[in-house]
Structure 1
Amino acid sequence: MTGRALPGRVLVVGDIVTDVLAAHPAPLAAGADTAARIRVTGGGSAANTAAWLVAEGVPVELVGVAGDDAAGEERLVELSRTGVDCARVRRAPGAATGCVVVLVTGDERTMLSDRGANALLRPDDVDAPVRDPDVIHVHVSAYVLLDPVTRAAGRHALTTARELGRTTSVGAASAVALRAVPDFNDLVRGVDLLLCNADEARALLRRPASGGDSLEALAAAVSAHVRHAVVTSGRAGAAWATGGATAARAAGTAGDVVDATGAGDAFAAGVLAGFVAGVDPPTALRTGTERGAAAVTRLGARPPGTAAGSGPDRGATPPR
C-alpha cells in the first residue's frame, strides 16, 4: 500500500485477455498426453497491472477493447469486482476477446497469443480518458506500441498526457517483440518511467540476449531515452536509474516459482504505486520486488482473490 492519498487516478491503457494456463512439470509429449494443471483466468498486461495497482490502494481506470462475447463479459466482471474502473473499456461487436494459452514449466513460459479485440484499440478510445482532469498518470502497456495497428493509440495516449502535464510510464512487454521493432526507443522517448526486465533491456539496447551486464548498467543505459528506467531480474532484484546514473538498487526475494505469468505486471504496479505517490526510489523498488515475488507463488497473473469465477458477484454486470 502507498500509505498516501492520491489527488486523482491512474489511467492504464492496453490489453485485456483470457489466460488459459497449463502448468506441466514434465516436458511436453509430442503427439501424446502430458499431465498438467489447467486454469482459465483473467490476463493481459494492462489488466493485470491495473488489478495489482488497485491492490496497492491506487484508484485505477482501464482503457482497452474487449469482445462482445461471454469471455469479455467475464473479464470485465472480475476486473470491476476488484475495483478497476472499466467504464472506458469498449465492447466490440462481432469481435472475440483476446486469449493467450500459457504453457508453464517452472520459470519458463511459452505463450500462444491471439490479441483478438485488443487489436481494435484506436486513438479516439484513449483521447477522452486521458483528458479527464482526474487522471494524474497514464501507463501504457508496450503491447499497444509494439502492434503497428494499435501503435497510434498508444502514442496518442502518451503525447496527450505529456501535453496536459500528466506523468507517463510504459511497461515493456516482450524481448522478442522489442527486437522486431527497431525504433521502440523513439516511441517511448521522454516517458517519465520505463519498466522492463533484463532481457527486455538488452533488446532495447540491441545487446546480446546472454550479455553479462549488471542490472545497474542496464538501467543506466536505458535511462538515456527516458527520465527514469527500472530494470528487474527476478531473484537478482531490481535497479532504478535516472539520467544515466543508478538511483536505487533492491535485492531479490527468494522463493519457489509456481508460475511467473504476470510477475512483471505485479512488479510494475508496486513500483508505479510508489512513483505516483512520490515515495523514494528505494521504497518503490522494494515494493515492486515484493509484489513480483508474491505473484510467482501461485497460478495466474492477478492478485490473490481475483481469479475468474471467485467471489459473491460472479453474476454482476460490467460497464459497457
Structure 2
Amino acid sequence: MTGARHGRVLVVGDIVTDVLAAHPAPLAPGADTRARIRVTGGGSAANTAAWLAAHGVPVALVGVAGGDAAGEERLVELGRAGVDHAAVRRAADAATGCVVVLVRGDERTMLSDRGANALLRPDDVDGPVRAPEVAHVHVSAYVLLDPATRPAGRHALATARALGRTTSVGAASAVALRAVPDFVDLVRGIDLLLCNADEARALLRLPAAGPAATPGTDLGTLAVAVAAHVGHAVVTGGPAGAAWARGGAVIAQAGGLAVDVVDATGAGDAFASGVLQGFVSGADPRAALRTGTERGAAAVTRLGARP
C-alpha cells in the first residue's frame, strides 16, 4: 500500500431515493403481499460517502439531483450525515433518481430509474477533482457503465491521476458489467478496484458462479487476476470474507462474519468505506479488510443502505 495521504475523499456517482420493500413471503402476483416499506436515501456513491462521513473521513460528493422535493430531501440527509454536497448539481427539469428494492432475506430485486443521475457531465467533476484539498477520488461504476455519464467518470479518473490523486472504482453490478465488455479498459491503471466475486468474474469474462464456473476461482485467485489490470484489487465474498491482491499476490485476507441478514442493500458500499478509509490513510490492508467486513456485516442487519 502507498503511504498515508491526508486530505478529502471525493466520491463521484449516483444519488437516489430507495423505496425498500421487505417481504418475508414470496410475492403474490395479482394480490397483496405483506411487506415492511421504507423510503430512504440511496445510491452507491451517496451511500459510500455517508459511511465515510460517519467514521470521521472528510468527504465530498459529486453528482446530479433533480429539482424536485426528493432531491432536496436527499441533500438535507447527506448534509446532516456530514457529507459536503456543494458540488451536487440540481437539474431543475429532471426527477431525482429512484430505485425500488424488493428484499427477501439476502435476495434483492431492484427496479431502477437513474433520473437526474444520467445528466452528470465532465464539467460537473472537473472543478471538484481539482480542489487542492482532495487526496483521493472514488468513482461508482454506475457512472462508467452508463454511456451517457461515462465521459464524466473517465474525466474524473484521468484528471485525478494527472494531478497525482489516488483513484478507486467500486464495481456495481455483475449483470451490467457483462454488458460492457471493455469495462476493464475503463478502469485500467487505477489504484484500487473493489468488487464482489460475481462482479470480478464478469469483469474477467469468466462464467458466472455455479456448476459451470471456472475451477480455482476462489477470492484470492480472483483478486490476483483483477489486480493484473489495476494497482490493488479487493474482492469480497459475503460470508466467505474478502481478499486483497497487488502485484500478482494476495497481500491480505479476512474472514466473513456470521450475522442475520435483514437487508443487503448498501452492504458493499459500507464495506468499501472501510477499505477506502484504510487505503487513503495508509493503514495495513488486513486492518482495512477487517474494518470493511465489520461495516458490511453491520449494514445487512437493518433495513436501508445508510449508517
Place the TM-score, normalised by the shorter chain, in its bin. Answer: over 0.9
- TM-score normalised to structure 2 length: 0.96
Give 1:313's aligned residue. none
In structure 1, the partner of 2:54 is 55
| Residue of structure 2 in register with 1:317 after alignment | none
1:97 and 2:74 are equivalent in the alignment: no
> How many residues of Structure 1 are paired with residues of Structure 2 in the alignment?
299
Q: Does 1:126 align with 2:130?
A: no
Alpha-carbon distance between aligned partners in 2 of 1:161 and 1:300, rounded to the nearest angstrom: 31
Q: Note if contact 1:142-1:172 (Cα within 8 Å) is conserved in structure 2.
A: yes
Q: Is the 8 A contact 2:6 2:281 kept in 1?
A: no
1:208 CA drift (Å): 1.1
Aligned CA-pair RMSD: 0.9
SS at match of 2:109: strand
Cα deviations by residue, 1:137-185 (Å, 9 ceiling, x for unpaired): 0000000000000000000000000000000000000000000000000
Which residue does the alignment assign to 1:302? 306
Helix, strand or coil at the partner of 2:288: helix
User: In structure 1, what is the Cα distance between the partners aligned to 2:174 and 2:203?
Assistant: 8
| Alignment correspondent of 1:290 | 294
What are the equivalent positions in structure 2 for 1:169-318 lying under 5 Å apart?
169-210=168-209, 211=213, 213-303=217-307
Q: Which amino acid aligns with 1:121?
A: L
Runs of 4+ aligned structure 1 residues displaced above 3 Å come to none
Q: Write the distance in 1 (CA, Å) between the matches of 2:38 and 2:248.
A: 42
Show structure 1 runs of 5+ residues with no match. Answer: 304-320
Per-residue CA deviations over 1:125-144 (Å, capped at 9, x if unaligned) read 00000000100000000000
Percent of aligned pairs sharing the same letter: 83
Long gaps (5+) in structure 2 = none
So what's the TM-score if we normalise by structure 1? 0.92
- Aligned equivalent of 2:29: 30
Whole-Å separation in 1 of the counterparts to 2:105 and 2:206:
26
What is the CA-CA distance between 1:7 and the residue it aligns to?
Answer: 2.6
State the shift of 1:244 in Å. Answer: 1.9
CA 1:226 to 1:278, structure 2 compared with 1: closer, same or farther past 3 Å? same
Whole-angstrom distance in 2 between the partners of 1:8 and 1:215: 31
Asked if structure 2 preserves the Cα contact closer than 8 Å seen for 1:6 and 1:58, the reply is: no
How many Å separate the matches in 2 of 1:80 and 1:63? Answer: 13
